[in-house]
A and B are shown apart, each in its own frame.
Chain A
Amino acid sequence: MDAEISLRVDGESHRLTVDTRTTLLDALRERLGNTSPKKGCDHGQCGACTVLLDGRRSLICLALAVAHDGAEITTADGLAPAGELHPVQQAFLEQDAFQCGYCTPGQVCSAVGVLDEVDRGWPSHVTEDLTGDVELSHDEVAERMSGNLCRCAAYVNIVPAVQQAGGAR
C-alpha cells in the first residue's frame, strides 16, 4: 500500500509517495537520493543511519516514513552549507575521527545531538550529579556516543573530536 507524505530534508521540502513499509532511511536513500545517512544493519543496532529528526538524533532505519509525515530531517550533509563544515565535522577531520567513513555521517549527527543534550543538562548513565551542569568529559562523550558503532574503531579520536567541537561552540 502506498501513501503520500511530505518531508523537509536538509532545508528542502519534498512531496513523495512511499510504500507504507518504507522506512525513513529508505525513503531518503532510495526515493529522494539522499545517501548521507547510511544503512549498516537496518535494525537500530549500529547507528549509521542517525540523523536529526525534528531536532533530535534518531535512528531512521527504525522509523516508518508514513508515520513521519511533515517531519523535519537534517542529515550530515545538511549541517552546513556546501563548501563549509559544521564544527563537529571540522573536528572529525582534524582529529581523524574516522577511516572508511561509512559510519561517519551517523557519528557526526549523533555528536551534534549529544552536544545539544549536554547543553540542556540531560544526564546520562555515567553522570554523577543528575541536577547540575553536565561536563563534556571523556566518559560522558564515550557513553553517549556508544550507540554508533565504528568498525574501523576510531573511538579514541571520536571522543576528542566531540570535545573539541563542544569547546568551540
Chain B
Amino acid sequence: MTDLLEPRAIGQALVRRDGEQKVRGTATYAYETPVENPAFCHPVQATIARGRVTAMDTAAAEALDGVLAVLTPFNAERLASTDDAEYAVLQSPEVAFRGQLIGVVVAETSELAREVADGITVAYAEQPHDSELRTDRPDLYAPEQVNAGHPTDTSEGDVEAAMRSAEVTVDHTYETQMLHNNPIEPHATTALWEPGADVPLTLWDSTQGVHPDRAAVSEVFGLDEQQVRVVCPYVGGGFGSKGNPHANVMLVAMAARALPGRPVKLALTRQQMFFLAGYRTPTIQRLQLAADRRGRLQAIAIDVVEQTSKVKEFAEQTGVPTRMMYASPNRRSTHRLAALDVPIPSWMRAPGECPGMFGPEVALDELAEELGMDPVQLRIVNEPDVDPDTGKPWSSRHLVECLREGAQRFGWSDRGPGRRREGDWFVGYGVASSVYPTMRQATSTANVRFERGRYVAEIGAADLGTGAWTVLPQIAADALGVDVADVEVRIGDTRYPTASVAGGSSGTNTWGSAVSVAAREFRDKFGTDPHDGDEASGDVDQAAMDEDHAAYAFGAQFAEVRVHADTGELRVPRLTGVFACGRIINPRTARSQLIGGMTMGMSMALHENSVFDPRIGQVANHDLAEYHISVNADVQQIEAHWLDEHDPYVNVMGSKGIGEIGITGTAAAVVNAVHHATGVRVRSLPVTLDKMVPGLP
C-alpha cells in the first residue's frame, strides 16, 4: 500500500507544453532533424512472398551520378547479432515474406534514391508460399507463451460438461480483422555514423522508447550501448508500431555505416509500412458461454486462432481478458497460431485486450438476448469478488459503477426491447465493457537537479501525443512540493536516465514513479533550499510494485447506431465511455487519449480492414485511400468520463494508465447496437454494408 502524492499540480487540466511547437509545425520529428548535407535512402523490397534472391543488377545504379551506395544481401556488412530474425537485414538472400527488405539505395536526393531503388532488377528463385489463415489448418500450434508472458492456455473445471447441462448456452465464432497501426508520421530515422567518436552512432529515430531502441540497435551491430545515442523528442504517433524498432532502423544504420560522417535519412513510405512496421493479426475466436436462467455464468471459454510470421513469432494474447473479466466456475482459454509466409505481426494499441474484448462482449450480448435480460444487468450479476484468473483481490475494480454511471449518462433506460425506427433509420443502443491491465515496468530512472532557480527532471521518456512533456512536470511538482511552473522536464534522449518503453499504458505509471522517487531523494539530500547544481536520482519504486493484488482499469462503453433501412448505411451518432482508471494526472490530455482510443475502436468496428490476398501474400489495400480510418465526418458525439478512483496499490500517483483502455470494447458496443437496431448479428469485423443489407428487416 502506498501513500498517494497530495495532488496540487496533479489533476490540473494544463495545456500541453509542446503545444505551441506542434500547432506551428516547428516540433522536429525524426526525419526533420536539421543536419548538414544529408543523404537520402530508399529501400528495395522483395516482390515475391517466399524464395531466394539469386541476383540483383546494381551496376547501372551505382554508376549514376549522385548515387552514394547500394546495399544488398550480397554486399552488406555482416551484423554482430542475427538472433532476432526481423533485424537480420540483408544478411541472407532468403525471402520470408513479400515486401521484405532486400536492399537500400543511398543518394544525394530523395528523388534519385527512389528512382534507382525502383529500377534495380532482381532475379528470384521463387517458392510456393503459404499465407492463408484458416481454423482447419493441420499445422496450427500452441506457442510456448503469448505476448506479455501470459500462459498460452488456461483451464479450470469442465466447460464441456457445463455447456451440456446449462439452461442457456451461446456457442459462436467471432472474427476480428487484420489491422495496421498507421501512425500519421511514418517510421523514420536520421542516422549518423562517426567512426572514432565517443558515441559513433547517433539515431534520431521515431520511437516509443529511446533506450529500448538503443538496446536493440547496439546488440545488432555489436556496439556497446554507450556507443549509440538515440534521440526522439517528438513521436508522430506509434500505437505500438514504434514500441520496438523494426527492420527499417537497422537498414538506415547500415546505410549510415556505409557513409561515415554523412547523415542519412530514411522514411518508410505509407505503402512500405504495410509490410514492415507490424500489424495486428486477424483473430478467429470461438466463444462458449453457459448460464443459468438468472444469467449467472456456469462456463466461459475462448479458443483463439490467429497468425504469426514464420520468420519471427508474435502471439497476440487475445484470450487473456476472458480469464479475468467475469465470474464463472468453469473456464478455458486457448491460443493456436498459424505460422505463415507473411509480414511480422506486432503490438497494436491494446494487443490482446482490443481483439479479446470483441468476441466475449458480443457473446454476452447474445446471451442477454437468449435470456431476455438487460445486457448491463447481465454483466453486473457476473461481477467477480476476486480475480478469477489468479484468485488475488482487486487493487480496485469499479466496472459495475462504470456500467451504472454510463447507463445513466447515456440514457440507456430509453432502450426498449423492440426495434425503433426514426424515418428511414433504425436506431439501436449497445453496451460493452472495457478493461486494461495496470502495468508498471521494472526499470526506469530519473534525475532531479536544481538549475538556475528551477527544478529539472530528466528521463529518457517518450511523448507520442500521450502528454509526457506535460504530465511529468505535474508529477515532479507535487513530489517536490513546488509550483509546476518551476519544473522543467527533459525527455526523449538516451543521454537522460534509462526509461522504459511507452507501451502497455505503463509510461506515466513507470516514469512518474521514478521521477517521484528522484524528487524524494532530492529533498532528503538537499532539503527545501537547494544550491545550483544539486542533483539526485531515483529508480522506479519497487516497494510500490504490489504483487498481492490484481490491478486493472475498467470501463463501460455505450453506443448509439443508426442504420439506414434501405442501404444499410451505418452511423454512430453517440459513444459514451465511463472509465475507472485510477487518478487522472491531467484531465485535458487524458480525455483526449480516452476519446482517441474510443474513436479508434469505432474505426475498427466500421472502417479499418487490411484486406490480405493470400494468393500473392500481401495487403491489397496498402495505402490510406483504401485502408480507411475514421475521418472527422464519421465522428459526432464521443464522450469520455471517469470515476474519482483512489487506488493505493498501483503507484504513488494512483494512476492506472489510460492509453489503451479506450479502444477495448468499443467495437463490441457498436456491433451490439447494430443488432439492437436491426436484428442483424455481425460476428466478423468490420461491419460493412454487405454484412448488413441481406438481413435488414
Q: Give the interface of A toward B (CB within 8 A).
A: 19, 21-22, 26, 29-30, 33, 35-43, 45-46, 48, 75-77, 79-80, 85, 89, 92-94, 96, 98-105, 108, 126, 138-139, 141-143, 145-159
Given A38-B184, A39-B186: A75 and B25 interface contact (C-beta under 8 Å): yes
Nearest-CB residue, chain A, relative to B628: A149
Instruction: Decide if A102 touches B23 in the complex (CB within 8 Å).
Output: no
Nearest-CB residue, chain A, relative to B40: A30
Instruction: Decide if A157 touches B592 in the complex (CB within 8 Å).
Output: yes
Nearest-CB residue, chain A, relative to B466: A99
- Which residues from chain A contact B16 at a C-beta distance below 8 Å? 93, 96
Nearest-CB residue, chain B, relative to A153: B599
Contact of B109 among A30, A35, A76 (CB under 8 A): A30
Nearest-CB residue, chain B, relative to A51: B25
User: Other CB < 8 Å A-B pairs besides A77-B24, A153-B630, 14 of them?
Assistant: A36-B26, A39-B31, A45-B624, A48-B184, A100-B183, A101-B21, A104-B23, A138-B636, A142-B632, A149-B184, A149-B629, A150-B632, A152-B465, A153-B603
Instruction: Decide if B593 touches A99 in the complex (CB within 8 Å).
Output: yes
- A13, chain B: closest CB distance, angstroms: 20
Interface residues of B in 477-496 (CB under 8 A from A): none
Instruction: Decide if A149 touches B592 in the complex (CB within 8 Å).
Output: no
Q: Does B15 contact A (CB under 8 A)?
A: yes
- Which residues from chain A contact B465 at a C-beta distance below 8 Å? 98-101, 152
- Which residues from chain A contact B599 at a C-beta distance below 8 Å? 153, 155-156
Given A40-B270, A152-B596: A96 and B591 interface contact (C-beta under 8 Å): yes
Interface residues of B in 125-163 (CB under 8 A from A): none
Q: Does B635 contact A (CB under 8 A)?
A: yes
A/B interface sample: 5 pairs, CB < 8 A: A35-B29, A43-B623, A89-B24, A99-B465, A153-B596
Complex CA distance for A138 and B637, rounded to whole angstroms:
10
Name the 6 nearest CB pairs between A and B, nearest first. A102-B236, A99-B465, A36-B25, A101-B22, A100-B465, A105-B25
The A-B contact count (CB < 8 A) is: 190
Given A100-B185, A101-B234: A146 and B631 interface contact (C-beta under 8 Å): yes
Complex CA distance for A155 and B591, rounded to whole angstroms:
12
Complex CA distance for A11 and B286, rounded to whole angstroms:
61
Instruction: Decide if B624 touches A149 in the complex (CB within 8 Å).
Output: yes
Instruction: Decide if A100 touches B237 in the complex (CB within 8 Å).
Output: yes
Given A43-B270, A96-B16, A156-B635: A76 and B184 interface contact (C-beta under 8 Å): no
Instruction: Decide if B25 touches A151 in the complex (CB within 8 Å).
Output: no
- Which residues from chain A contact B18 at a C-beta distance below 8 Å? 101
Instruction: Decide if A104 touches B631 in the complex (CB within 8 Å).
Output: no
Q: Does B2 contact A (CB under 8 A)?
A: no
Complex CA distance for A48 and B270, rounded to whole angstroms:
13
Q: Is the interface of A mostly helix, strand, loop or mixed?
A: loop
Complex CA distance for A22 and B112, rounded to whole angstroms:
10
Instruction: Decide if A45 touches B623 in the complex (CB within 8 Å).
Output: yes
- B673, chain A: closest CB distance, angstroms: 19
Instruction: Decide if A35 touches B624 in the complex (CB within 8 Å).
Output: no
Q: Does B32 contact A (CB under 8 A)?
A: yes
Instruction: Decide if A76 touches B24 in the complex (CB within 8 Å).
Output: yes
Complex CA distance for A9 and B24, rounded to whole angstroms:
14
Q: Does B600 contact A (CB under 8 A)?
A: yes
- Which residues from chain B contact A158 at a C-beta distance below 8 Å? 632
Complex CA distance for A116 and B676, rounded to whole angstroms:
42
Complex CA distance for A150 and B183, rounded to whole angstroms:
9
- Which residues from chain B contact A26 at a C-beta distance below 8 Å? 110-111
Instruction: Decide if A30 touches B624 in the complex (CB within 8 Å).
Output: no
- Which residues from chain A contact B635 at a C-beta distance below 8 Å? 142, 153, 155-156
Complex CA distance for A93 and B24, rounded to whole angstroms:
11
Binary contact readout B586-611 vs A (1 if CB under 8 angstroms, 0 otherwise): 00110111011101100100000000
Instruction: Decide if A105 touches B23 in the complex (CB within 8 Å).
Output: yes
Q: Does B417 contact A (CB under 8 A)?
A: no
- Which residues from chain A contact B634 at a C-beta distance below 8 Å? 146, 155
Q: Give the interface of B toward A (CB within 8 A).
A: 15-16, 18-29, 31-32, 34, 40, 109-112, 115, 182-186, 234-237, 239, 267, 269-270, 464-467, 588-589, 591-593, 595-597, 599-600, 603, 623-625, 629-638
- A141, chain B: closest CB distance, angstroms: 8
Given A29-B32, A48-B184: A96 and B631 interface contact (C-beta under 8 Å): no
Complex CA distance for A89 and B19, rounded to whole angstroms:
9
Instruction: Decide if A22 touches B111 in the complex (CB within 8 Å).
Output: yes
Contact of A142 among B236, B588, B589, B633 (CB under 8 A): B633
Nearest-CB residue, chain B, relative to A37: B25
Nearest-CB residue, chain B, relative to A83: B20
Instruction: Decide if A46 touches B632 in the complex (CB within 8 Å).
Output: no
Nearest-CB residue, chain A, relative to B15: A93
Instruction: Decide if B624 touches A43 in the complex (CB within 8 Å).
Output: yes
Instruction: Decide if A103 touches B184 in the complex (CB within 8 Å).
Output: yes
- Which residues from chain B contact A145 at a C-beta distance below 8 Å? 632-633
Instruction: Decide if A35 touches B28 in the complex (CB within 8 Å).
Output: yes
Complex CA distance for A9 and B19, rounded to whole angstroms:
23
- B606, chain A: closest CB distance, angstroms: 13
Instruction: Decide if B236 touches A148 in the complex (CB within 8 Å).
Output: no
- Which residues from chain A contact B624 at a C-beta distance below 8 Å? 40-41, 43, 45-46, 149
Contact of A38 among B112, B182, B236 (CB under 8 A): B236
- Which residues from chain A contact B632 at a C-beta distance below 8 Å? 141-143, 145-146, 148, 150, 155, 158-159
Instruction: Decide if A98 touches B23 in the complex (CB within 8 Å).
Output: yes
Instruction: Decide if B596 touches A40 in the complex (CB within 8 Å).
Output: no
Instruction: Decide if A38 touches B185 in the complex (CB within 8 Å).
Output: yes
- A32, chain B: closest CB distance, angstroms: 12
Residue with the greatest number of chain A CB neighbours at <10 A, chosen from B15, B267, B465, B588: B465
Complex CA distance for A46 and B237, rounded to whole angstroms:
14
- Which residues from chain A contact B40 at a C-beta distance below 8 Å? 30
- Which residues from chain B contact A126 at a C-beta distance below 8 Å? 633
- Which residues from chain A contact B629 at a C-beta distance below 8 Å? 149, 151
Contact of A41 among B270, B466, B636 (CB under 8 A): B270
Instruction: Decide if B34 touches A89 in the complex (CB within 8 Å).
Output: no
Residue with the greatest number of chain B CB neighbours at <10 A, chosen from A33, A41, A89, A159: A41
Complex CA distance for A155 and B236, rounded to whole angstroms:
16
Residue with the greatest number of chain B CB neighbours at <10 A, chosen from A75, A96, A141, A154: A96
- Which residues from chain B contact A40 at a C-beta distance below 8 Å? 184-186, 270, 624
Instruction: Decide if B625 touches A45 in the complex (CB within 8 Å).
Output: yes
Instruction: Decide if B34 touches A33 in the complex (CB within 8 Å).
Output: yes
Instruction: Decide if B184 touches A100 in the complex (CB within 8 Å).
Output: yes
Residue with the greatest number of chain B CB neighbours at <10 A, chosen from A33, A101, A149: A101
- Which residues from chain B contact A151 at a C-beta distance below 8 Å? 182-184, 237, 239, 600, 629
- A3, chain B: closest CB distance, angstroms: 12
- A12, chain B: closest CB distance, angstroms: 15
Complex CA distance for A125 and B24, rounded to whole angstroms:
29
Instruction: Decide if A153 touches B595 in the complex (CB within 8 Å).
Output: yes
- Which residues from chain A contact B24 at a C-beta distance below 8 Å? 36, 76-77, 79-80, 85, 89, 105
- B93, chain A: closest CB distance, angstroms: 29
- Which residues from chain A contact B467 at a C-beta distance below 8 Å? 99
Residue with the greatest number of chain A CB neighbours at <10 A, chosen from B24, B237, B637: B24
Complex CA distance for A139 and B27, rounded to whole angstroms:
31
Contact of B23 among A48, A76, A150 (CB under 8 A): A76
Nearest-CB residue, chain A, relative to B185: A102
- Which residues from chain B contact A143 at a C-beta distance below 8 Å? 632-633
Instruction: Decide if B23 touches A85 in the complex (CB within 8 Å).
Output: yes
- Which residues from chain B contact A98 at a C-beta distance below 8 Å? 19, 22-23, 465
Instruction: Decide if A21 touches B185 in the complex (CB within 8 Å).
Output: no
Complex CA distance for A38 and B23, rounded to whole angstroms:
12
